[in-house]
Amino acid sequence: MKRFCFALLMLLFILTTNLNAFAEAKKVRLGYLRNDLHHLPAWVAIEMGYFKELGLDVVVAGIFNAGPEQMTAFASKDIDIGYLGMAPSVTGVANKSASVKAVKLSNSEGSAIVVRKDSDIKDLKSLENKTIAIPGHATVQDFLIKKALDAAGIDIKKVKIIVIKPPEMITALDSKQIDAFIAWEPHPSKAVTMGIGRVLMPSSKIWKGHPCCVVAVQGDFYKNNPLVVNAFMKAHVKANEFIKNNPKEALRIGQKYTGMDEATIKEAMKNITYEHHINDKDIKEYMDYLQKFGYIKPIDIDQFIKEYTGK
């Protein structure tokens, strides 16, 4: 009986301690990319109250133009949890410029190479000697365009790649400052519905089922707030399921946070798979690419993946 009472007291102590820790750390500063429909799960969780249901006070602390910019915010500890591309998060961690853990996938696929509607570019080989815009170096889109060009047998030196913020890409394409761009949804679909561009190739044709964005947690926050991180992950998974089961309502939320029209969001969502499982093999492929183009130095990939995913 004494042993039972002692065990019960210990259990109550542990539960009380954990609840207190949760209460102290329940505020979460969130970051995501501007108008990135890949981050719809975050918006759904906010709109549907999933974060609040789990005791989280999620405050949007940063809306960024590209992943590398968001990694800078992680490094300065201005955000606790963020949605961003797997590639820039891997690069930042590998180069020790920031510490984050990728706890869930946000989506797979969901990007596209776009050219002008009246362009004579008919296939990837036609991109040789052309100017192509990407959102940033070491982004998922940077990886995808180089993978596509390599598959088409095009020397990367024979293509001019420049960095332009996605919201400005359509204007640059229309004014013929660039010949093509690759960006996340809904920017490719917006170029199409505006009558300015056409999709040359969706990212699913470059790398079928490829991971795109992740839910990343700042290193110290991950270490010190396990209950909060776990609650956030539950809300994220619930939001992903909501998107699959309630496409019309998810579309409405996507419109609200991107400010884009229904036709554009509807078309864009056809190009995105909302998936939350992270595959180690996919991370390795990203890392092989990042090493190939000199974005990271050679490292023990298997050990890195364990640390990066917190496994």
In this predicted model, what pLDDT tens digit does every residue of 233-265 receive, in sequence order?
999 999 999 999 999 999 999 999 999 999 999
Strand extents, DSSP E, 16-148: 27-33, 57-64, 81-85, 100-105, 108-109, 111-116, 131-134
> Token digits for 74?
């992680």
**CA separation for the pair 121, 38 (Å, rounded):** 27
Spatial distance between the Cα atoms of 56 and 285, rounded to a whole number of angstroms: 34
Range 171-186 average pLDDT:
98
Residue 28 reports pLDDT greater than 50: yes
Local confidence band at 292 (pLDDT 50, 70, 90 cut-offs): confident
CATH class of 25-108+211-309: alpha beta
Mean pLDDT for the stretch of residues 100-112: 97
Terminal Cα-to-Cα distance of the chain (whole angstroms): 39
Calculate mean pLDDT across residues 137-165: 95
pLDDT over 90 for what percent of the chain?
Answer: 86
**Of residues 275, 293, 304, 290, the one with CA closest to residue 110:** 275
pLDDT of residue 223: 96
Give the mean model confidence (pLDDT) for residues 147-167.
95
Judge contact between 36 and 62, C-beta under 8 A: no
Kindly list the strands in the beta sheet with 27-33, ordered across the sheet, starting from the edge strand earlier in the chain. Answer: 57-64, 27-33, 81-85, 213-218, 100-105
Q: How confident is the model at residue 19 (pLDDT cuts 50, 70, 90)?
A: very low
What tokens does 244 get? 């699959």
Q: What is the pLDDT of residues 49-69, one digit of tens each?
A: 999 999 999 999 999 998 999
How much is the average pLDDT of 71-83? 97
pLDDT band at 220 (very low <50, low <70, confident <90, very high): very high
Question: What CA–CA distance (Å, rounded) separates 118 from 133?
Answer: 18
CA distance 224 to 221: 5
CATH superfamily of 111-206: Periplasmic binding protein-like II (3.40.190.10)
Query: Helices 86-94 and 140-151 meet at what angle, rounded to 10?
Result: 100
Residue 249: Cβ-neighbour burial (10 angstroms; 0-12, 13-18, 19+)? middle
Residue 15, pLDDT score: 44
Note the pLDDT of residue 26.
Answer: 87
Question: What span, in angstroms and rounded, lies between the C-alpha atoms of 110 and 244?
Answer: 15
Predicted pLDDT at 18 = 45
| Residue 1 CB neighbours (<10 A) | 5
In which band, very low, low, confident or very high, does the pLDDT at 311 lie, cut at 50, 70 and 90? confident
The one-letter amino acid code at 7 reads A
Q: Quickly state the pLDDT bin for 7 (edges 50, 70, 90).
A: very low
Please count the CA atoms within 13 angstroms of the CA of 288 that sit on its side-chain side. Answer: 7
Indicate if the pLDDT at residue 86 is higher than 90.
yes
Mean pLDDT of the chain: 92
Q: Supply the angle between the helices 247-258 and 226-245 in degrees, to the nearest 10.
A: 110
Fold match, 25-108+211-309 / 111-206: yes
Whether the predicted pLDDT of 127 surpasses 80: yes
What are the tokens at 137? Answer: 């170096």
pLDDT exceeds 80 at position 272: yes
The confidence score (pLDDT) of residue 256 equals: 97
Tell me the C-alpha distance between 199 and 73, whole Å. Answer: 32
CA distance 83 to 264: 22
Q: Let me know the angle formed at the C-alpha of 201 by 186 and 133, rounded to the nearest 5 degrees.
A: 65
SS3 87: helix
Mean pLDDT over 283-304 rounds to 91
Domain range summary for the chain, segments of one domain joined by +:
25-108+211-309, 111-206
